[in-house]
Structure 1
Amino acid sequence: MTRDVYEYAVIRVVPKVERGELINAGVLLYCQPRDYLCARVGLDPVRLRALDPHADVDAVCRALEAYELACGERSGPLAGEPLGGRFRWLTAPRSTIVQTGPVHAGLTTDPDTELARLFDKLVRV
């Protein structure tokens, strides 16, 4: 089986940027040889409220869902952009509540399975 290079970044929620505390809330995975870009998100509202009792959980969930939508976007600001360009845009540094961590690389025979594995390892409690 051929293993292909992929890149991924953890999507994290930093409710109070000045404190630097964060919750892993998703994974974004890009595999150029497979023409694959996908995000998987899941927020634990209890953990978010532990860091910020006044956090707007619905707004954070909408921001997380935007990552999933941007991966398959057919309309909107990323429509028509190559998947690699979308990945770079989505992983660009931000000083917002929802942001990505550094980009890492690996090898995979199946990007879907790898995304599920990373999500289970890095996001699920």
Structure 2
Amino acid sequence: MSDRHVFEYALLRVVPRVERGERINAGVLVYCRAKEYVGARTHLDEARLLALDPGVDLPGVRAALRAVEGVCGGGDLAGQAAPDEPGRRFRWLIAPRSTILQPGPVHTGLTADPAAEADRLLGLLVR
């Protein structure tokens, strides 16, 4: 039996002015059902974001990214999503929305270590 498992991931994108459609990648969500894992890694390039919109609410964007990390982690930081299983929390986070922080499309892959995969994807697609 293989030690690699199917995982899903989606980018987190900051869209400071929805009407313009410009965005930067600011994080990645990873879910692996077999490992009962859901996690987020984030990195906000504030200079790039300010180049898109000098008036963007940086503290608000930072708070939104921290909230996503909290939902992934479960427990008290997950708020109402705390009792939900990891898959349900992932599905809630990837639901389309028209806010400043938006999930991208979901992609799949194989991994033995979903947390390490989250780190790898952050470096590859966000940083």
TM over 0.5: yes
In 1, the alpha carbon distance for the partners of 2:126 and 2:66 equals 15
Q: Which has the higher helix share?
A: 2
After TM superposition, the score normalised by the length of structure 2 is 0.95
Question: Which residue of 2 is the match for residue 78 of structure 1?
Answer: 81
Please report how far the alpha carbon of residue 72 of structure 1 lies from its aligned counterpart in structure 2 after TM superposition: 1.5
Matches within 5 A, 1:102-117: 102-117=105-120
Structure 2 unpaired stretches of 5+: none
Residue 70 of structure 1 aligns with an amino acid whose one-letter code is V
Size of the alignment, in residue pairs? 124
Give 1:48-67 correspondences, 5 Å limit.
48-67=49-68
Percent identity, please.
57
For the aligned residue pairs, the C-alpha RMSD in angstroms reads 0.8
- Pair 1:89 & 2:92 matched: yes
1:120 matched to 2:123? yes
In the alignment, the residues of structure 1 paired with residue 11 and residue 55 of structure 2 have an alpha-carbon distance, to the nearest angstrom, of 24
C-alpha distance in 1, partners of 2:17/2:75? 33
Which aligned segments of 4 or more residues in structure 1 are displaced greater than 3 angstroms? none
Q: Which amino acid aligns with 1:7?
A: E
Residue 70 (structure 2) pairs with residue 69 (structure 1): yes
